[in-house]
Amino acid sequence: MKKFLFDLFPLILFFIAFRVADIYTATAVA
């Protein structure tokens, strides 16, 4: 379960950033 969450975490962060402030924030997070 931890491995699963660890793999998903960056994708979740990217998705949230993209939703909140579009491509600029998503690029900054990445």
Which of 28, 4, 2, 3 is closest to 16 using CA atoms?
Answer: 28
**Res 8 pLDDT > 80:** yes
Domain count, the chain: 1
Query: Which range of residues forms the domain containing residue 27?
Result: 1-30
Interior CA angle at 29 toward 26 and 30, to 5°? 85
The per-residue pLDDT for range 14-30, each reduced to its tens digit, is 888 778 777 776 677 76
Categorize the per-residue pLDDT at 1 as very low, low, confident or very high, splitting at 50, 70 and 90: confident
